[in-house]
Structure 1
Amino acid sequence: MTKDVLLSISGLHFDAAGAEADENEPIEVITPAVYYNKNGKHYVIYEEPVEGMAGTVRNTIKITGDSVFEIIKSGLASAHMVFEKDKINMTQYETPYGELLIGIHTRKIDVDVTENNIAIAVNYALDINDEKVADCNIDMNIKALER
Structure 2
Amino acid sequence: MFKPLKPRLFLLLSAAMLAACGEVEDTRPGQPVKQRQMAFKEMVKTFEPMGVMLREGRYEADKFAALADKLMAKRDAPWSHFGPDTHYPPTKATPEVWKQPEQFEKNKQAFITATDTLRTAAQGKDKAQVEKAYEAVHEACKTCHKQFKER
Do they superpose with TM above 0.5?
A: no
TM-score, with structure 2 as normaliser: 0.23
Q: Which is greater in Rg?
A: 2
Return the structure number with greater relative CO, CA threshold 8 A, min gap 6: 2
TM-score, with structure 1 as normaliser: 0.23
Which of the pair is proportionally richer in helix? 2
Which of the pair is proportionally richer in strand? 1
